[in-house]
Amino acid sequence: DVKVTQSSRYLVKRTGEKVFLECVQDMDHENMFWYRQDPGLGLRLIYFSYDVKMKEKGDIPEGYSVSREKKERFSLILESASTNQTSMYLCASSPIIQGSYNEQFFGPGTRLTVL
């Protein structure tokens, strides 16, 4: 069964801490994504990676960075957590088939609370 896993379901951190959210997919997908989900705002793209060590900013990259050292792993880093980064974080992956982007496979999400 194909899977996207995220390192934690729930996380509580303090303001100013450095936070790492890990995502691993076992489907050999080229593309990986980090979104945050907030009530009334839907899913907003933070960062996207289309290959190892390659990344592109999404709609709301401020305060975040990412790392993709291996194809299956995509990490989201909050350099200095702030309370407005309290949210649900969703990781996704998708293959490229015939040059087009396809459905995304999502992980279970990490609900991060920054105090």
Partner 1 sequence: AQKVTQAQTEISVVEKEDVTLDCVYETRDTTYYLFWYKQPPSGELVFLIRRNSFDEQNEISGRYSWNFQKSTSSFNFTITASQVVDSAVYFCALNPTSGTYKYIFGTGTRLKVLA
Q: Which residues bind partner 1 (CB under 8 A)?
A: 9, 31, 33, 35, 40-43, 45, 48, 50, 56, 58, 88, 90, 92, 100-109, 111
How far apart, in whole angstroms, are the C-alpha atoms of residue 110 and residue 10?
A: 5
For residue 16, how many other CB atoms are within 10 A of its CB? 10
- Which is it for strands 110-114 and 87-94: parallel, antiparallel or unpaired? antiparallel
DSSP letters of 49-107? Answer: EEETTEEEE-S--TTEEEEEEETTEEEEEESS--GGG-EEEEEEEE-EETTEE---EE-
Nearer to partner 1, 19 or 92 (CB): 92
Structure token pair of residue 85 = 């980064």
